Chain A
Amino acid sequence: MPSAPTPTSRERILAAIRQNKPSLQPLPERIDWGAVPTNLITPFKTMLQAIGATVVEAADYETVRAHVRETFPDVANIAVTVPELTDLADFSLAVADPHDLELINLAILPGAWGVAENGAIWLTEQEMVHRALPFITQHLALVIHRERLVATMHQAYERIRVDKTGFGAFIAGPSKTADIEQSLVIGAHGARSLVVYLLG
């Protein structure tokens, strides 16, 4: 008599789960809270400042351009994925290997959505061009329209399709660590600084 085939690990795990799981519990119906504040700009700005970012309200792209030139004078290797600001770029993103991005000092990217409750900004690989770009750059600037602000994470996820692209991220402030005696240090492995331009 042929012996039964050895079950795969997948089958063994799923069988053990089926045998041991409790009876079906319902999912909660409501998953959205928080009264929507009428003014999202103030909490968004306050949060960003609290998490170590700089916020600049800019009436138009010309104001952004002027501020970038003033804040990053003589900085070379600037990569830009905001169509209106490509003239600021001196680093071409037409590279095949993301390792080539290690020289970038400043990356200027558009943000898709901003979340007032925590200062997080959502962007996908469509805005990033290279997934590594917002992380490998020494300094990061994100440009976001004020009408793209939402109050909470719940509202952000209502507007985002997370699998529309292969990668997307909420970025909240510059990279940071407190692993040495709980002293906050800005600039761990990702960007050393974040400036957010709030347009409109």
Chain B
Amino acid sequence: MKTNIPDHATASVAFNRDESYVDWHDETLWFVRQKRDRAAMALPEWEDLRETASQIKNHVLSNLDGLLEEFERKAQANGITVHWAVDAQEHNQIVLEIMRGAGAKQLVKSKSMLTEECHLNPFLQKHGVEVIDSDLGERIVQLRGEPPSHIVLPAIHLKKKDIGELFHKYLGTEKGATDPQYLTEAARQHLRETFLTRRVALTGINFAIAETGGFVVCTNEGNADMGAHLADVHIASMGFEKIIPKTEHLGVFLRLLARSATGQPITTYCSHFHRARTGQQMHLIIVDNGRSAQLGRPEFRASLKCIRCGACMNTCPVYRRSGGHSYHNAVAGPIGAILAPNLNMRENADLPFASTLCGSCSNVCPVKIDIDKQLYLWRQVLAKEGYISGVKEAGLQVAAKVLASPTLFKWTFRTGRMVMRTMPFVVGNSLNPWFDDREMPTAPKESFRQWWEKIREKANAEEVKNVEAFEKLK
């Protein structure tokens, strides 16, 4: 890979430097996964809901043009100004022009992974617009000059002492203070001031309803509402796959979303916007940015069904131990790893390899995206397109030869066992990254095949005896 972004494995080394953080990260996300399990298991119809959500999204992908046109018509009738953006650049330019039209130089923004994907904040800052992210986790990472490391839990890579230090520096909290209640209160006061003074608010969109021309935004903190209802101009940005056909489908998705994300029965605030309040302007930006290309890849288009719950991240053994920043993409984890190569194969060729292919992600996905299968398929596409590093390719070619020949296979493993028994330092040294964080296993004296050949006759004789005994019983 010719890129200056460190690949996932390299970036994970930095994340793994402090073991206490990794353990905490791993255990905490697994705890969130368990909360998800309890919430899911409390509903007997859970699997039916997943299947239905999946079918609704399959329909959406097959009728995106019709649904978007219907949505636009209804939204315009509701007085919403609808914009279309082919790519990130156009999206950002539209936001900037709305800001200029409103004569505003400050924007308050609630959570929107799309604007992360579009790198809206640096673009606006370059053009003299100050952006404040109002979700607590996003504000924390923004003050640190970092992107979110998780789509639902943006600051999950940090401990309270890090946030205490950060707030002491920027919000004037007491030095050494780490009480989450106290720190949250400080952020509440600081952001209340922001909400009260910003004239333009930008929110993401969880679901846009074609039938009614409105949209739903879900937050636990109430920050999207605080921003939108106090601003003169409300901008809402959506990737075009956020469209759903009917209001009744919200029942399915809202039942699944929070339970999958955090194990809550529903997000605290599920706000349904249809028309601007009197005197307010409402703009909505429908963004493509590579989505139509992904739609044209039959084996990968199901990734567009994603409702951004983060369940696949919480359950992923690789994500939990490597952290979101290792994925160098707005959306990390398993879903990010199948979305990112579509945006840029060269830069993201490492991501589909950041997986054990265990399939846990697909098992928890509320819209049944075949994430593990797509990770596997991306590896093949990336290899075919020549985006695999020479070392990996050479290694796999050797593996392919060895696995294709029984003689070579037997010889390789016999030699391997011998080396590991007699000269373990040959493999277990600093030149072999496999042993960086692993204990050397003790190599057995014989292989399974040797063991089986030895006992086969005895086992066969046993079986004959058993069959005879069984025949007698009859």
- Is there an interface contact between A167 and B271, defined as CB atoms closer than 8 Å? yes
Determine whether the beta carbon of B292 is less than 8 Å from that of A17. yes
Please, which residues of chain A bring their CB within 8 A of the CB of B183?
Answer: 180
**Which residue of the partner chain B has the closest CB to A174?**
B268
Query: Is A110's CB within 8 Å of the partner chain B?
Result: no
Quote the shortest CB–CB distance from A191 to chain B (angstroms): 7
Asked if B296 and A189 make an inter-chain contact with CB atoms under 8 angstroms apart, the answer reads: no
Cα-based distance from A156 to B252 in the complex (angstroms): 12
Please determine whether A12 and B86 come into contact, CB atoms closer than 8 angstroms.
yes
Report how far A172 CA is from B268 CA in the complex, Å: 5
Report how many A-B pairs have Cβ atoms within 8 Å.
Answer: 257
C-alpha spacing A118/B258, complex, angstroms: 11
A76 is an interface residue with CB less than 8 A from chain B: no
**Interface check A188, CB cutoff 8 A:** yes
**In the assembled complex, B295 has its CB within 8 A of some CB on chain A:** yes
Contact A179/B229 with A10-B84, A34-B45, A188-B222 known, Cβ cut-off 8 Å: no
**Residue interface mask A152-169, B partner, CB < 8 A = 1:** 111011101011011111
A9, B220: Cβ atoms closer than 8 Å: no
What 1/0 mask marks residues of chain B from 237 to 268 whose CB sits below 8 Å from any chain A CB? 00010000101111110110000001011111
Q: Residue A25 contacts which of B58, B136, B155 (CB distance < 8 angstroms)?
A: B58
* Structural contact, A25 and B62, CB atoms closer than 8 A: yes
Chain A: number of interface residues, binned into ranges: 35 or more
Give CA–CA (A68, B271) in the complex, Å.
27
A189 touching B248 by the CB < 8 A rule? no
Which one of B28, B64, B225, B262 contacts A17 once the chains associate, using CB atoms below 8 Å? Answer: B64
CB within 8 Å of A: which of B277-299?
Answer: 277, 286, 288, 292-293, 295-296, 298
**Nearest CB in chain A to that of B197: its residue:** A99
The secondary-structure label for the interface of chain A is loop
Which of B2-10, B96-104, B187-195, B411-419 is found at the contact surface with chain A?
A: B187-195
The verdict on A14 contacting B65 (CB below 8 Å), with A28-B52, A28-B55, A135-B226 known, is yes
Chain B residues within 8 Å of A153, by CB: 250-251, 254-255, 266
Residues in chain B near residue A99, CB distance under 8 A: 196, 230
**Residue in B154, B188, B266 whose beta carbon sits within 8 Å of that of A189 in the complex:** B188
A146 contacts the other chain (Cβ, under 8 Å)? no
Q: Which of B38-94 contact A (CB under 8 A)?
A: 43-45, 48-49, 51-52, 55-56, 58-59, 61-65, 68-69, 78, 84-86, 90
- How distant is the Cα of A115 from the Cα of B276 in the complex, in angstroms? 27
Interchain CB contact under 8 A, B52 and A170: no
For B164, give the chain A residue with the smallest CB separation: A180
Chain A residues whose C-beta falls within 8 Å of the C-beta of B230 in the assembled complex = 98-99, 132, 136
Contact between chains at B180 and A166 (CB < 8 Å): no
B223 at the A interface (CB under 8 A): yes
Cα-based distance from A200 to B183 in the complex (angstroms) = 41
What's the least CB distance linking A29 to chain B, in Å? 10
With A33-B45, A181-B159 already in contact, the answer to whether A163 and B212 are too (CB < 8 A) is yes
Task: Give CA–CA (A34, B270) in the complex, Å.
Answer: 21
Query: Could you say which residues of chain B place their CB within 8 Å of the CB of A178?
Result: 153, 262
Chain B residue contacts of A16, Cβ below 8 A: 288, 292-293, 295-296
Query: What 8 pairs across the A-B complex have the smallest Cβ distances?
Result: A190-B222, A20-B296, A166-B275, A118-B265, A179-B137, A16-B292, A188-B221, A33-B45
Provide a sorted-by-A list of 7 A–B residue pairs whose CB atoms are within 8 angstroms: A9-B288, A13-B86, A25-B63, A166-B276, A167-B275, A170-B269, A185-B184
Q: A181-B160, A189-B134 are in contact. List 4 more A-B contacts (CB 8 A).
A: A9-B90, A174-B268, A177-B136, A181-B180
